[in-house]
Amino acid sequence: MLLLLTALVGMCLATQGWLPWKPAVFGMLGIGFVSAAAAVVNHVVDRRIDERMARTHQRPLPRGTVTRPRAIAFATLLATLGSAMLWWLVNPLTAMLTFCGLVGYAGIYTMYLKRATPQNIVIGGIAGAIPPLLGWTAVTGQIDAYPILLVMIIFTWTPPHFWALAIHRKNDYARVNIPMLPVTHGIEFTKNAVFLYTLLLFAVGLLPYIAGMAGTVYLIGSSVLNAIFMYYSIRLKWGDEKIWAMKTFRFSIVHLMLLFVVLLADHFAKF
């Protein structure tokens, strides 16, 4: 849902009036279908490790409620329908970018990076950061500088979001030999990384205002949200990770959701 919200905001920011219904409806459906396909592939590839992790052992594949062939068939159907919808009913550029996101997440990240490097979510985060760009191109049919700023925000937000969760689930990841940062570099190192990335996020979050994409409503709202995120990262850095890791993770979701809502409110406040 968060992914689709950022794509929808990208669509809205790409136009000065009402969204044209065709790219809005079929763009959201196509992006949603392909994103769902990527998630299903992730579940298929990670079935063995999901069985051994407390957070994921109740997923359909580990429980046996869905078979691997059916999951693969479902992912193929979703990817095909979504890509065809985007290509024929939206535009080829959006279809190609969305497919690149599928390959980046389900292929490069899930099948390789996740098991290869503690920087997995940093590098792989590019694939998860593109929904605002997809929403923008669905409406305009071209790549512009403004949606790239939104991609940069999500890209910078991704590491502290996932590393906070990884701190809480360190033993789970260690058990299945996934080299998340707390496993390879320790919890204290990861706390510092979360804090530094929230500082960077504060700066990157100002770019839409500096570039003239957003106005005062966004400047105030984003500054407040980023300051709160920094507060959580500070409490995590100097506090008990058993308390603050999941609190930071949960707020990071609220943070990104509200940040894009504020961006949308700022956009419509100009009319």
State the DSSP code for 206.
T
For residue 5, how many other CB atoms are within 10 A of its CB? Answer: 17
Same domain, 9 and 117: yes
3-class state of residue 50 by DSSP: helix
User: Does residue 31 contact residue 97 with C-beta atoms inside 8 Å?
Assistant: no
Residue 244 inside a domain? The answer is yes
Predicted TM-score of the model (pTM): 0.95
pLDDT digits (tens, 9 = 90+) for 12-26: 999 988 899 999 999
Same domain, 8 and 41: yes
Same domain, 161 and 48: no
Tokens representing 62 are 């580990």
Same domain, 173 and 57: no
Predicted local distance difference test score (pLDDT) of residue 145: 96
Q: Choose one of 98, 131, 164: the last residue of a domain.
A: 131
Range of the domain at 247: 144-271
**Structural domain tally of the chain?**
2
State the DSSP code for 1.
-
Q: Which amino acid is at 254?
A: V
Q: How high is the mean pLDDT of the chain?
A: 95
User: Does residue 149 contact residue 208 with C-beta atoms inside 8 Å?
Assistant: yes
Extract long-range pairs of 117-121: CB within 8 Å, 24+ residues apart: 117/179, 118/179, 118/180, 118/181, 118/183, 118/184, 118/185, 120/179, 120/180, 121/158, 121/159, 121/162, 121/163
Tokens representing 6 are 């950022």
pLDDT class of 40 with cuts at 50, 70, 90: very high
pLDDT digits (tens, 9 = 90+) for 234-271: 999 999 999 999 999 999 999 999 999 999 999 988 65
Q: Which amino acid is at 270?
A: K
Contact partners, residue 26, CB within 8 Å, separation at least 6: 85, 86, 89, 90
CATH, residue 60: 1.10.357.140
Predicted local distance difference test score (pLDDT) of residue 141: 96
Residue 138 inside a domain? The answer is no
